[in-house]
Amino acid sequence: MAQLREWLEARGLGRYADALLAQDVELDILPELTDADLTAAGLPVGARKRLLQAIEGLRNLADPAMPSKGPPPVVPTTEPATEAERRQLTVLFCDVVGSTRLAETLDAEDLRNLLRSFQKVCVEAVQRHEGQIGLFIGDGVTAYFGYPRAHEDSAQSAVQAGLDIMAGLAELGRDGLEARCGVHTGPVVVGELGVGEKRLCDGIVGEAPNIAARLQALAPPGSLVMSDATLRLVEGFFEVEPLGPQMLRGVSVPIAIYRVLRPSTAPNRFEARSGHFLTPLVGRETELGFLTKRWENAMEGEGQAVLVQGEAGIGKSRLLQTLRMQLRETPHAEIVLYGSPQHQTSALWPVIQQLHRALGFAGEKDDVARRERLRHFLGDLDLDSADVVEPVAMLLGLSADPGWNAGPADPEQVRRAVFAALSRLTSAVQRRSPVLVVVEDAHWIDPSTTEHVGQMLTDVASQRLFVLLTARPEFQAPWSHSSQMVTLPLARLSRRETEAMIRGVAPDYLPSAMVAQLVAKTDGVPLFIEELTKSVAESRSNFGIGAAIEIPATLQAALHTRLDRLAPIRQIIQVAALLGRVFDADLLIAVSQRDPAAVKRALHDLIEAELIYPRRDPHCERYQFKHALIQDAAVSTLLRNQRAQLHRQIAVALVELRADAVEHSPELLAHHLQEAGDWEGALEYWQKAGAAAMARAAAREAVSHYANAINCSKKLDEVSGGAERMTHLHLAMANALMQTEGFGAERLGQALEDARRASADTTLVELQCEVVLSSGVYFYATGRNRDYLTIADQQLQKHVDLLPLAYVSGLWLNKGTAHFNRGEWRFALEALRKARGLIDRTDASRRMLLGGGDQLIAIHDILQRSLFAMGFIDEAVETTEHLVQAIDRMEKPFDIGWALNVKCYLSALFGRDDVLLQDAGKIIEISERHGFAARRGLGLSWRGLARSRLGELDAGIADAREGMVVLRGKGVVFRVQEKVCWLCDLLVQAGRYEEASHVLAEADAIAINTDDACFLAECTRIRGQIAACRNDPTGAVRLFEKAIAISQRQEARLFELCATTQLATVLARQGHPEEGQTRLRAIIDAFDTKHEIVDLAAARKVLDTLHR
């Protein structure tokens, strides 16, 4: 005993001595121990691996008698301890039923033997399905699947292992030995646990093992229960009985559970999902047409063979399924062979399973009955001779017919007889009808099935046979010499096709920003698109801007399977993944701290495994992950502290090796500093990144950068200046949001409120005023102009002498805008002239950003419109032309777009429709390029007006409608009434009066729910126009009079002119042309201008008509 303990302690394995000694293991029999023996002794997987390595060293000692002479020399191990990692595992917990009763009724030795029998059955079943025994705890066994090597079907293997345990115990026939199992899938941390000799090398921590144990307690004796999390991964592969949601001890929410009855007959994922909704086939029309044509040739006796090849998830099975569904109405036979990863060495496994399905063996257990079915099946094909029936019967494991005396004697003869029988069977089927032979997952078929398929291909040319195979890129087809074989590679979907598929999976409610994230993450791989979209759609909390998209459980196993094949270079893969989707070799070497040659070898292995590919770059050696999800999966296994440490190392490497890149793109360093927990450093660089993005007119990126900066600032302890810093950050965020989401966005309102609260904790008058100034556009956009006037007046009364001229000018501008929105034109004009006078005395470098742009443009915009509305045409033109002349000198896209919008007013009033169309197009182009959503809405409205005037009325209406929808979609109130009026004018011209009335209701709702009334007169005028067109002159006159009264009350002379022009026409129809002339001439004469705007020209034309 002492020798064994000393030998184990010398190798750092002393903590397992008691477990081995309890099994009567001494040093002399160590070389004979197997992994199964160590599992039965209760050793976890890591301990078993280390001990077997040490035993191998013991076997290799020069003196074979060494074990009996004493402990061998100490040979220190050089293998580092396995790092803990995060993984998704499926946990199987199996427990003996009634163990307390058994302990009471059985002798201890008998109980021990009974439990060892139970454990042996468990170990064999788990290992058969490539699982790992975690722990033997009393009369219970914990096993897990998906570690240390993930498999695509780990969850399915866990459930099947549980069923096999039940079947194995039943076969033992030991009285009183019965068990039940629970299975659950979830995230865990797996790694070394405990201290000293009680350490576990591969302990798992997380909810999954606890839930599996709780589920086991709910299972009836002799049965297995699984959670809905596991069901989602194995659905269709097993027949289940729902047991409803159950509350489990220690779990806060109920979990839906299912009793597993038996395996289903489904051979693969698509068959398992039969009857479920399938996403429409997208982007494979050309490939489907190609296969259809090949089938048509096969039907004419020109046999065909096609290998559909592509990476996992690319849609090979989906394409074949669509073809098979398309052929349902065409008389033909199908032979479908499914490759299986668990049966790659099982001779003719796919063929046997196909025969089982064709013969209906699933519900028939009696060999005699099965043989009878086979005889009838082959007899119908005129193949009832013994040299066909008996080889096929042998293949299916049926007992031989005693009367078949001519049966082959040796295995090679048996093999030839089986192949000859299968060849005759295929030929007989195709003589009756065309045959579609499908070989799914050819990369998993066994050598004998490969030979059988090759035999079919040899004879295919003159047969009505279409052999259609699917395989992954690594599959090397052994039949490439066949002249009939054509390879059809499947490429990834395009961006447009990916978006179409996303909308097909989640058609209603995914925001465009989330769709863009899904496109980037899924790389055009249909399986990734479908599963990731479903996951996001089911968890709407992921809809936030920039929110991380987690890898769904349905993809975890597939992704980790590919990574686990490269376990020796895992750390290099993880560092590369943290560096980014695209990474440089020199940075990888610096951060991984590995020998450059070793890193280069690892990169070669990753290229060979098709996980990365080299990028052409003349300046450095650069690589890119083939899939974003592979990159995410590599990172997901790291623990938080491991991840933070690597990010710290990356930040150091960036500063040392990429100083220029960091200066140009501070977000590169900011990201790694934030992930490393260096909040102060990250804050500094996120702020720089936000400012740099705004300078490049990349407002969408700036929103993300400032959001990160705010998060970092919140992490810092409260220090002097914290409130000031937070105020500036929220204001910077607000300015970016004004450009990207519009002035009425909810996020903008929240950012401004956060800025107000933060500024209230400071004594800085200018900063508090800046918040008030920035808030103006949000108040206008949401129709709260009176509220804003109160706030602005308070600032002017309290702090006017303490504020710079630009700030005071901004307050007067915002007051003028609020009065403008309320239809208080004279007050608006007074405030705006003060604002312009103050800004003219201010140096350009001291001007502020208001509404996301230069405050000078904002002043010109509202001042021009106020002057036009009140009839001061010449002053309005002079004001606008000063701004128009400066457009070519502007640099910021948002300012250019705003200034062009001001110019469009001038062009529209002067009837310069070609110029209006050109400038509207520029606004739309700038807005789409830089993400200026609300500004794009204005551009569309202008383009609609221009196109309608140029003879494209329907196209103009469509643009004007879209512009209005865009603005309302951004929560904007102000300017919407104006766009409603433009659209309704066009609808009336098109004779679409009912539609125009419906749209006007939108403006009515704004007027009722807000204090926005600047276009109330115009809305009333258009209602009068609709009444006139509907032959209701009395109603029209009443409405026109009301519009004129509103215009006069608001001193909006231009609107009064428009209403009076239309009133005069109706009065003339009623027989009162003189009254119309008098009133129209009076309003025309009220305009003292040298410019002929379109509304004055229209009025003069009506007046001339009335005069004649």
Strand segments (E) across 253-347: 255-263, 304-309, 333-338
> To 10 degrees, the CA torsion angle through 690, 691, 693, 696?
170
Yes or no: is domain 1015-1108 CATH 1.25.40.10?
yes
Residue 507 has pLDDT above 90, yes or no: no
Give the per-residue pLDDT at 309.
93
Are the beta carbons of 971 and 782 closer than 8 angstroms?
yes
CA 461 to chain centre: 46
Residue of 744, 218, 283, 813 lying closest to 500 (CA atoms): 283
Report DSSP state, residue 119.
H
Tell me the pLDDT band of 79, cut-offs 50, 70 and 90: very low
Alpha carbons 651 and 668: distance in angstroms, whole number = 9
Could you say which of 3.40.50.300, 1.10.10.10, 1.10.150.170, 3.40.50.2300 is the CATH number of the domain covering 552-657?
1.10.10.10
Cα separation, 39 vs 75, in Å, equals 25
What are the structure tokens assigned to 76, written together? 């220190």
Distances (CA, A) of 1053 to 902, 905, 982, 1050, 1086: 20, 17, 18, 9, 8
Long-range contacts of 383-392 (CB under 8 A, 24+ apart): 383/424, 383/425, 383/428, 387/417, 387/420, 387/421, 388/421, 388/424, 388/425, 390/417, 391/417, 391/418, 391/420, 391/421, 392/355, 392/418, 392/421, 392/422, 392/425
Number of H helices, E strands in the chain: 50, 18
Residue 257 DSSP SS3: strand
Beta bridge partners of 135: 142
- Short-list 538, 540, 539, 533, CA closest to 515: 533
Residue range 32-43: average pLDDT?
A: 73
Distance separating alpha carbons of residues 779 and 487, to the nearest angstrom: 63
Mean pLDDT score, 787-797:
91
Q: Over range 237-243, report the average pLDDT.
A: 93
Q: Please give the pLDDT value at position 113.
A: 85
Enter the tokens of residue 976.
């919407």
Q: Which fold has domain 769-885?
A: 1.25.40
Is the model's pTM score more than 0.75? Answer: no
Please check whether residue 370 is in contact with residue 359, taking contact to mean a CB–CB distance below 8 angstroms.
yes
**What does the pLDDT look like over 821-844, one tens digit per residue?**
899 999 999 999 999 999 988 888
- Within 264-368, strands assigned E span 304-309, 333-338
CB atoms within 10 A of CB 62: 5
Sequence-ordered alpha helix ranges (H) in 129-197: 154-172
- pLDDT of residue 349 exceeding 60: yes
**Of residues 966 and 993, which shows the higher confidence score?**
993
pLDDT at position 513 is: 77
The C-alpha atoms of residue 320 and residue 763 are separated, in whole angstroms, by 71
* Angle (CA) 98 101 106, round 5°: 120
CATH superfamily of 2-69: Transcription Factor, Ets-1 (1.10.150.50)
Kindly report the number of other CB atoms within 10 A of residue 1078's CB atom.
13
Q: At 741, which amino acid appears? A: E
**pLDDT over 60 (residue 82):** no
What is the per-residue pLDDT across 201-236, written as a single tens digit (0 to 9) for each? 667 889 999 999 999 999 999 999 999 999 999 998
Q: What is the pLDDT of residue 49?
A: 67
Mean pLDDT lowest for which of 10-24, 249-263, 688-702, 752-766?
10-24
Alpha helices in 741-872 (DSSP H): 746-760, 765-781, 785-799, 805-821, 825-840, 855-870
The pLDDT value given to residue 416: 87
d(CA 607, CA 613): 6
Quote the strand ranges of 237-313, DSSP E.
238-246, 255-263, 304-309
Return the pLDDT at 614.
Answer: 92
| 224 CB-near residues (< 8 Å, 6+ apart) | 159, 162, 163, 166, 180, 181, 182, 183, 259, 260
Annotation: CATH topology of 85-269: Alpha-Beta Plaits (3.30.70)
- pLDDT of amino acid 853: 82
Residue 687 exposed, middle or buried by CB count within 10 Å (0-12, 13-18, 19+)? buried
**C-beta of residue 1011 within 8 angstroms of C-beta of residue 823:** no
Structural contact between residues 1052 and 1017, judged by C-beta atoms closer than 8 angstroms: yes
Topology given in CATH for the domain delimited by 274-489: Rossmann fold (3.40.50)
Per-residue DSSP letters for 476-517?
--TTTT-TTEEEEEPPPPPHHHHHHHHHHHSTTT--HHHHHH
- Averaged pLDDT for residues 292-311: 91
Task: Give tens-digit pLDDT for 414-425.
Answer: 888 889 999 899
Helices (H), 91-195: 99-105, 108-128, 154-172
Which value, to the nearest 10 degrees, does the dihedral of the CA atoms of residues 677, 679, 683, 686 take?
10
State the Cα angle at 204 between 201 and 207, rounded to 5°.
170
Would the CA dihedral through 664, 667, 669, 670 be positive or negative? positive
CA 847, CA 224: separation in Å to the nearest integer? 73
SS3 (DSSP) at 226: strand
pLDDT at 696: 85
CA gap 876, 856 in Å, rounded: 15
Higher pLDDT, 921 or 538: 921
Geometric angle at alpha carbon 92, from 88 and 97, rounded to 5°: 160
**Pick from 428-442, 521-535, 679-693, 1059-1073: least confident:** 521-535
- Each residue's pLDDT tens digit, 310-343: 988 899 988 998 999 999 889 999 999 998 887 8
* pLDDT mean over 865-877: 92
- Runs of H (alpha helix) within 565-616: 570-579, 585-592, 596-608
pLDDT exceeds cutoff 50 at 67: no
CATH class of domain segment(s) 892-989 = mainly alpha
Structure tokens at 626: 């083939």
- How many Cα neighbours within 13 Å face the side chain of 26? 8
Residue 140 phi, psi (nearest 5):
-115, 155
The pLDDT assigned to 62 comes to 35
Q: Give which of 10, 42, 44 is closest to 27, Cα–Cα.
A: 10
Buried b (16+ CB within 10 A) or exposed e, 311-321: bbbbbbbbbbb
Contact 579, 650 (CB under 8 A): yes
Overall average pLDDT of the 637-645 stretch: 92
Residue 741 has pLDDT above 80, yes or no: yes
C-alpha to C-alpha distance for 131 and 146, rounded to whole angstroms: 7
**Whether 774 contacts 752, CB under 8 Å:** yes
User: Tell me: the pLDDT tens digits for 94-115?
Assistant: 998 887 788 778 888 888 888 8
Percent of the chain topping pLDDT 90 = 46
Calpha distance 322→529 (Å, rounded): 18
The pLDDT of residue 184 is 96
User: Residue 76, SS3?
Assistant: coil
